[in-house]
Amino acid sequence: MTPSRCFPLLVVLLPVLATPCSSSLDCQLNGECVQTTCRCDPGWTGPACSRLREGRSWVLWPQPEAQPRSASWGASIVHDGDLYHMYAMVVNQRALNGTYLTCYHTQGAQVVHATATNITGPYSLADVALPPETNNPHAIRLSTGEYLLFHMNDNNPELPLPRCTGAGDNGGCTNQRNGSTTPCGDVGRGTIGVASAKSAAGPWNVSYPLCAFSAIPNIANPSAVVLPNDEIMLAFRYNPGDPGEALLIAKAPSYRGPYTVLNPKLPTVGDQKRGTEDPFLYRSERGFHLLVHEYNGTQREWPYGDGRMIPGGHLFSPDGAEWHGSSYPAYTNQVEFANGTSILLN
């Protein structure tokens, strides 16, 4: 019998090469391009710096002892002195007998104000910053120390909003209250409001709805950044009909307006063309960024956690006018909590 002979099997593993970069745009403005390779900023990872380095998550609100049987979303946090001030939409959805009090998810919604000495909490309820029906708060601070709270007003005829004509430095807004007959559209049915205060603790003065967008259908989800000289850049959602929901960017010399839309429509993100909403606008040393909720897929089409689902999309721009959409998810629907538990969201 011929003795068997063993031959070593040589396996060569070739690295998966990323597309070489030529500028920080190829790194999604989340890093520098160094010798054709992206060096990502802290907080971002991946060959193109397209993925957030997600940490643990904390449940900030609601606190059962403060507002039992309630639900919340859309928190915005500012730091002032020794306190973190959080503003979040809260809707009391269940009565004592377990029945629902609301017909739709924002009915009866209000913006609550809670404070903590640590950004992760625990937060204590301080007061109601904006009464029903208001939601989707986004807080920013001007160089003067004045605080602004952009938000949505949601179809409450009793809401004390002024009449606006859309003309003049402040949008032609007066102190006349007119229920839901404002030229800005049905109060809340596509109305972005802005409130101002001298302190993060309030009290808040609802100045007016932003009449500049009265011709744009179903505006919502405002998010703003302060530019030099207290100019404002504002991101918001609207409904053009195709793909259903999309985003716009506007700019104004002050929060009172007038606002000018900088682009006809932002690009989509991901590998499909579906609705995009809930923008979070922020600025880095290289430009402007949007983290968005992207409807690129649902549980019926992709498994939980599949990258094609892309619940978290990323758009970036060097100047706020020309935007680029990422083809990769900034984060997925897997949430890891600080207490060691996790949840898959859809």
- pLDDT, one tens digit per residue, over 48-59 is 999 999 888 888
pLDDT tens sequence across 76-115: 999 999 999 999 988 765 544 444 444 445 556 789 999 9
User: With contact defined as beta carbons under 8 Å apart, do 108 and 92 qualify?
Assistant: yes
Amino acid at 279: P
CB count within 10 Å of CB 41 equals 18
Take residue 264 and report the two structure tokens written for it: 């006809």
CA nearest neighbour of 326 among 275, 292, 280: 292
pLDDT level of residue 344 (50, 70, 90 thresholds): confident
For residue 258, cis peptide bond before it (omega within 30 degrees of 0): yes
Task: Give pLDDT, residue 93.
Answer: 56
For residue 231, cis peptide bond before it (omega within 30 degrees of 0): no
> From CA 31, how far away is CA 40, in angstroms rounded?
4
pLDDT level of residue 134 (50, 70, 90 thresholds): confident
> From CA 185, how far away is CA 214, in angstroms rounded?
6
Task: Give pLDDT, residue 85.
Answer: 97
- Put simply, whether the predicted model's pTM sits higher than 0.85 gets the answer no
* Residue 35 confidence (pLDDT) above 80: yes
User: With contact defined as beta carbons under 8 Å apart, do 135 and 151 qualify?
Assistant: yes
Percent of the chain residues past pLDDT 90, beyond the cut: 40
Task: Give pLDDT, residue 309.
Answer: 60
What's the mean pLDDT when you consider all of the chain? 76
Distances (CA, A) of 322 to 29, 242, 262, 287, 319: 13, 21, 9, 11, 7
Residue 289 phi, psi dihedral angles, 5° rounding: -135, 150
> From CA 21, how far away is CA 18, in angstroms rounded?
9
Amino acid at 180: S
pLDDT tens sequence across 251-274: 999 998 888 899 877 776 654 556
Task: Give pLDDT, residue 238.
Answer: 86
